[in-house]
Chains A and B, each alone.
Chain A
Amino acid sequence: MDDTLQTISLDFAILNSRITYLDSGASTLTPKPVLDAMNEYYNEYRANIHRGIYDISEKATTEYEKSRQKVADFIGANRMEEIIFTKGATDGLNMLSEMLASLLKDGQNIIIPVTEHHSNMLPWRELARKCNLEIKYIYLKDGVLDEEALINTIDNNTAIVVIGHISNVLGTIHNVKAIADKAHQKGALCIVDGAQAVVHIPVSMKDLGVDAYAFSGHKLYGPTGAGVLWVDYDLLERLTPTRVGGDMVDYVNLDTIEYAPIPQRFEAGTPPIAEVIGLARAMDWIQSIGWDYIQTHEQSIVKYMWEQVSLRPWLKVLGGGAEQTRIACFSFVIDNIHTHDIAYLLAKENICVRSGQHCASGITEILKIAGSTRVTFGVYNIQSEIDALMQILDKIYIKFK
């Protein structure tokens, strides 16, 4: 373990317990500086934002809006007003799908890859049902999303293309820039679920050229309960809030409602203030480690996983082979052993993994499998944890043989 990893591990008290945590794709562990930032809010300036004229309310407002600027910088947004705080990726994508309904025309189509997490599939299927859109699914080729087919499917009638930046099952990185470019050529919107991406690779909204991008804080070393919906400002100006109430109006009387400016008009009600502040601190924490270190370390994990997998022909990893660029996310099946049995037996050895469909039932349906066992890594994971995993997998394989 190098010095940086040593320092990182000190930030996670939970790593002192006996668990081997290989489920960061579901939720990352939370480092101490994030917890400290939230405690600081509760201990020192616990008040609602935007409304009070007293000191601690102003301080809360300042920290909340500073967090918005931090997020904007972290994801390379054009301006901080493009950041809408949500509960998480699912919440943001639902909210966006609700708001887009008024811009759609009967008979247009929407393109949805079968690899999508339910959070970036079901809101759009519901929208298609409500607005009478034709759904065009994009399938797999050689075990991964057929991006070429996706690009070729976009036509003049396409209203929306949705795409996960990184598949939460296959771990593969999609070329969203190329997809967004084609979508724009055809007058369509490109909406991205970035939940699995923002924690593993640096992203820039300016470079990607997409129209909207959603992610959760709890998969980004932040707390649960806060996420981000980034929407390009030009599109934001065309949207009308579908959630109305407190803290989002400029002027209201019994006849009139005038909404607050962007983005406040899209954040009805008291937001998760502590969690937003914690999320911004998580981004500081990531930057203090640096993307170079994070990516180098995580790719060494990927390389070691492939070495170990290659020694075990019975361990079948989904999503193409080692030549496929992927983040540290591996879903696998073992013939004649159900994924639930594998996960249960790993759990008995304090190894935390996920099993089942991973909220992406399109993949299991197409591959005709009951599910898979998924291991996902964070920056705190080390090679010896892969050894521990493999040792138990070997035992399970022998027991069931």
Chain B
Amino acid sequence: MDDIYREYILDLYRNPLNKGVLDTPTHKLHGHNANCGDDIWIYIILKDGVIKDITFDGIGCALCITGASVTTERLKGLTLQELQQISIEQLYEWLGLEIESTRVKCVSLALRTAQEVVE
């Protein structure tokens, strides 16, 4: 069975981090992968250009949900400028694995969606 579905990836899929709706977000962003059905919302509380809190909600495959968990966990406390500089390679480093091209869209959906935020 494929290597990318490691136990910690599946653990994060079963028990995701930062999943749920924020009551009073300053920003709410929608992310969608049309061909596979990943569909998430990112909630952000932004104050003085810094991400004070961030969550996600929605449905997605294991890589999408794991990617969203790790992304939201790592983005807390970053400035908008720092957020924009985060690359896909950085995400791979956080995840501890590299994802093949057919699944990059899944794993990076939360990051790409969060990066659309403007103050």
Selected contact of A341 from candidates B5, B14, B39, CB within 8 Å: B5
Minimal Cβ-Cβ distance residue in B for A368: B59
Is A355 a contact of B36 with CB atoms below 8 Å? yes
Is A395 a contact of B39 with CB atoms below 8 Å? no
Interface string of A356-372 (1 = CB under 8 A from B): 11000000100000110
Instruction: List CB contacts (< 8 Å) of A333-354 with chain B.
Output: 336-341, 344-345, 348
Docked Cα-Cα span, A339 to B35, in Å, equals 11
Selected contact of A356 from candidates B13, B35, B102, CB within 8 Å: B35
Give A67 Cβ to nearest chain B Cβ, in Å.
34
Q: Is A399 an interface residue (CB 8 A)?
A: yes
Known contacts A338-B62, A341-B61, A344-B103, A364 near B37 by CB under 8 Å:
yes
Minimal Cβ-Cβ distance residue in B for A399: B1
Is B10 a contact of A340 with CB atoms below 8 Å? no
Specify which chain B residues have a CB less than 8 angstroms from the CB of A364 in the assembled complex: 37
Q: Is B93 an interface residue (CB 8 A)?
A: no
Q: Is A251 an interface residue (CB 8 A)?
A: no
Instruction: List CB contacts (< 8 Å) of A364-383 with chain B.
Output: 364, 370-371
Docked Cα-Cα span, A300 to B60, in Å, equals 35
Docked Cα-Cα span, A400 to B2, in Å, equals 12
Is B2 a contact of A340 with CB atoms below 8 Å? no
Docked Cα-Cα span, A342 to B1, in Å, equals 11
Specify which chain B residues have a CB less than 8 angstroms from the CB of A356 in the assembled complex: 35-37
Specify which chain A residues have a CB less than 8 angstroms from the CB of B5 in the assembled complex: 341, 345, 399
Q: Is B53 an interface residue (CB 8 A)?
A: no
Q: Which range holds the interface residue count of chain A?
A: 10 to 19
Docked Cα-Cα span, A345 to B10, in Å, equals 14
Is B10 a contact of A400 with CB atoms below 8 Å? yes
Q: Is B106 an interface residue (CB 8 A)?
A: yes
Give A137 Cβ to nearest chain B Cβ, in Å.
21
Docked Cα-Cα span, A357 to B32, in Å, equals 13
Is B61 a contact of A338 with CB atoms below 8 Å? yes
Give B13 Cβ to nearest chain A Cβ, in Å.
8
Docked Cα-Cα span, A118 to B106, in Å, equals 24
Docked Cα-Cα span, A396 to B13, in Å, equals 14
For B5, B64, B106, which residue has the most chain A Cβ atoms within 10 angstroms? B5
Q: Is B38 an interface residue (CB 8 A)?
A: yes
Docked Cα-Cα span, A348 to B102, in Å, equals 12
Docked Cα-Cα span, A396 to B5, in Å, equals 10
Specify which chain B residues have a CB less than 8 angstroms from the CB of A336 in the assembled complex: 14
Docked Cα-Cα span, A10 to B5, in Å, equals 37
Docked Cα-Cα span, A400 to B59, in Å, equals 16
Instruction: List CB contacts (< 8 Å) of B33-67 with chain A.
Output: 35-39, 59-64
Docked Cα-Cα span, A395 to B1, in Å, equals 8
Is A370 a contact of B2 with CB atoms below 8 Å? no
Docked Cα-Cα span, A285 to B89, in Å, equals 51
Specify which chain B residues have a CB less than 8 angstroms from the CB of A341 in the assembled complex: 5, 61-63
Specify which chain A residues have a CB less than 8 angstroms from the CB of B62 in the assembled complex: 337-338, 341, 400
Minimal Cβ-Cβ distance residue in B for A400: B10
Docked Cα-Cα span, A396 to B59, in Å, equals 19
Interface string of B57-87 (1 = CB under 8 A from A): 0011111100000000000000000000000
10 contacts between A and B (CB under 8 A): A336-B14, A340-B38, A341-B5, A344-B102, A345-B2, A348-B2, A364-B37, A396-B1, A399-B10, A400-B62
* Residues of chain B having any CB pair with chain A under 8 Å: 1-2, 5, 10, 13-14, 35-39, 59-64, 102-103, 106
Closest 3 CB pairs of A and B: A338-B61, A340-B61, A371-B37
